[in-house]
Amino acid sequence: MSRRSWSFSSVRLRTKRTSEDETSDGFRRRDRLFSSVRENRRRPKGSEGDGADPSTDKPRGNEMHQGVPKEPDSPLSSELAPVEEKPRDQRYTSGQFFFEYLVVVSLKKTKSGVYEPQITYQFPKKDGMVRFQKEEEEKTLKAITLFCFPEGINWAPLTEYCSETFSFVLTEIDGSRRNGYCRRLLPHGNGARPPEAYCIISKVACFGLFSKIFDEVEKRRQKSMAMIYPFMQSLREAPFPAPGNTVNIKSFIPESGTEIISLTRPIDSWLEHVDFRVLFRCLTDEEVLQVFAATVLERRIIFIAEELGTLSQVIHAVTVLLYPFIWQHTLISIVPEILIDVVMAPTPYLLGVQKRLADQVTDQGDLLAVDLSEGRKQTFIRENGDEDSILPHKLKEEILQALKSRNENATLEELNRVVPEAFLPFFMKTVGHFSKYIVRNGPGQPGQFQKRNFYKALESKSTRHFVKKFVETQMFDLFIQEAEQRPTNQNGFFEQKIAEYQRKVREKTKKH
């Protein structure tokens, strides 16, 4: 397969929908290619969509982009129902299940002497599919092998290999997303052998939870591949718990007996797909702010590192800094070598590229290239030059001061508290007054955002200068569209946080 045949699969197409492209948008559904990107569409005024879903790292439905008609379920997600119908429990109000399927990707030596990633195990098996479904399945599985082994065919048998866990995103042409969680390790055995990868495909975004699941899968794999099946079957039949709740999975292991594996979701569910420790270990606070500034203005950003886990965790962490806004453009946490031409796309993107490919991606213009490698000579290999002056100076200093309140070796729980408290107020102070400038003609009527009056209301010249740029971004545009459609008596997460913040400010003023 040539690189050219894949080169545009990851380019996000920005088109306005017309009545003629309501379902096809120039593409036939069976011709879609699964990759780590999405096509953006602006939601028509008056259309309905799912509201914000803070239980994922992709608020307001990264699983189905706003305004995009939902197509029939793909054959790979049609068997999500548990084997037995179980009564609904408030602990499981998420209404989702853990995963669609698990695959094992092994490196097999071809006749030409190179190692090619191939699916060697799949649970559950997909039987009785018609030709169209088989074609869809083959495309998905091919994409999975690429993301599990993005290095391509550059492999040789190994005697030592440190296991690593990372994640990626599979995106269909309708914008719906599924998460791929992958653990790569050296299988049990003697002598030199190539590594293999375990990959779980799920609509659920919860990196920490799936890392624990992989620990159990890896433990069973050391005994026998057959030991994986009953555990995954129990997991597949278990409903995904609501935030703050736990589900217990029973699993029998020979010589160990029946084990109870407890899987708990954090209460702050919108942070469950991210580990801020990796981001702040790789970058200083000031460097994080420069990356944040470029991301807020939806620029082209490439992260470079040796480890796949570092790339995926840093990119997910950066997108969470934008909360309550969502990155709407191309996002590929780990770019397979065969798709490296995506760096030439003129549209905004967040890309993760392995260090050995750095020379192929850093010759682009208008680009922020961030080296995350240990022992690097410089962090920003390429930059536009204005990243340090994008954010209003006073607000930037407030973020830095808030970040300094954490301990030097802060735990994940501490960072999950400190980081949102540092970045969320930035959006409150810059655009938190948005609801006052959504005008409605009557009760129950959709609103109309008064953009010019909105940013003119800001007293600070530097803040007003920043906001004039930010309101032109896709993430702000879609946020406002949802606010326009939302009933006046229904507040989203951001509005609730704004109200809490304003109440604290009033209380502090009274004390003084």
Calculate the average pLDDT of the chain. Answer: 78
pLDDT at 267: 73
pLDDT at 197: 94
Higher-confidence residue of 31 and 423: namely: 423
Which residues does 390 contact at the CB level (< 8 Å), separation at least 6?
293, 294, 296, 297, 466
pLDDT at 238: 87
Looking at the predicted structure, is the pLDDT value of residue 24 above 60?
no
Average pLDDT of the segment spanning 364-385:
91
Token pair of 230 as six digits: 């009953």
Looking at the predicted structure, is the pLDDT value of residue 204 above 50?
yes
| DSSP structure class, residue 224 | -
pLDDT at 320: 92
Instruction: Decide: helix, strand or coil at residue 130.
Output: coil
What are the pLDDT digits (tens) for 466-489? 999 999 999 999 999 988 988 777
pLDDT at 174: 66
The structural domain count of the chain equals 2
What pLDDT band is residue 263 in, cutting at 50, 70 and 90? confident
What are the pLDDT digits (tens) for 322-373? 999 999 899 999 999 989 999 999 999 999 999 999 988 888 778 999 999 9
pLDDT at 83: 31
| Residue 337, domain member (yes or no) | no
C-alpha pair distances (Å), 187 with each of 219, 225, 227? 11, 11, 15
pLDDT at 468: 96
Cis before 324 (ω within 30): yes
Q: What span, in angstroms and rounded, lies between the C-alpha atoms of 260 and 199? A: 23
pLDDT at 269: 66
Looking at the predicted structure, is the pLDDT value of residue 419 above 90?
yes
| Residue 117, domain member (yes or no) | yes
Looking at the predicted structure, is the pLDDT value of residue 107 above 60?
yes
| Residue 257, domain member (yes or no) | no
Q: What span, in angstroms and rounded, lies between the C-alpha atoms of 98 and 158? A: 33
**pLDDT above 70 covers what percent of the chain?**
79
| Residue 68, domain member (yes or no) | yes
pLDDT at 371: 96
Average pLDDT of the segment spanning 252-271:
78
Looking at the predicted structure, is the pLDDT value of residue 75 above 90?
no
| Residue 278, domain member (yes or no) | no
What are the pLDDT digits (tens) for 143-178? 899 999 998 777 888 888 888 999 998 876 666 778
**Best-predicted range by mean pLDDT (13-27, 31-45, 491-505):** 491-505
Place of tokens 């429990």: 89
What pLDDT band is residue 314 in, cutting at 50, 70 and 90? very high
pLDDT at 95: 54
| Residue 39, domain member (yes or no) | yes
Average pLDDT of the segment spanning 443-461:
90
Q: What span, in angstroms and rounded, lies between the C-alpha atoms of 487 and 438? A: 11
b (16+ CB within 10 A) / e for 486-501? beeeeebbbbebbeee
State phi, psi for 400 to the nearest 5 degrees: -60, -40
Domain ends where: 187, 204, 221? Answer: 204
- Sign of the Cα pseudo-torsion (100, 273, 349, 464, in order): positive
Looking at the predicted structure, is the pLDDT value of residue 220 above 90?
no
Domain ends where: 204, 225, 253? Answer: 204
How many Å is the Cα radius of gyration of the chain?
Answer: 23
pLDDT at 45: 38
The beta-carbon contacts of 287-290 under 8 Å, at least 24 apart in sequence, are 287/370, 287/379, 287/380, 288/321, 288/403, 289/391, 289/396, 289/399, 289/400, 290/368, 290/380, 290/383, 290/387, 290/388
Q: Is 99 exposed, middle or buried (0-12, 13-18, 19+ CB in 10 A)?
A: buried
pLDDT at 20: 33
Domain ends where: 204, 219, 245? Answer: 204
| Residue 175, domain member (yes or no) | yes
* Window from 188-197, 256-265, 287-296, 422-431 with minimum mean pLDDT: 256-265
pLDDT at 173: 65
What are the pLDDT digits (tens) for 205-217? 888 888 889 998 8
pLDDT at 501: 78
State phi, psi for 119 to the nearest 5 degrees: -75, 120
Looking at the predicted structure, is the pLDDT value of residue 38 above 50?
no
Question: Is the pTM of the predicted complex or chain greater than 0.85?
Answer: no
Token pair of 267 as six digits: 């209460």
What are the pLDDT digits (tens) for 109-135? 888 888 899 999 888 877 767 777 778
- Sign of the Cα pseudo-torsion (224, 226, 229, 230, in order): negative
Q: Which of 40, 53, 38 is nearest to 204 (CA)?
A: 53
Provide the domain limits for residue 121. 1-204
Looking at the predicted structure, is the pLDDT value of residue 99 above 70?
yes
Token pair of 92 as six digits: 């499981």
Which residues does 134 contact at the CB level (< 8 Å), separation at least 6?
none
pLDDT at 237: 86
Our separate counts of H helices and E strands in the chain read 13, 16
| Residue 395, domain member (yes or no) | no
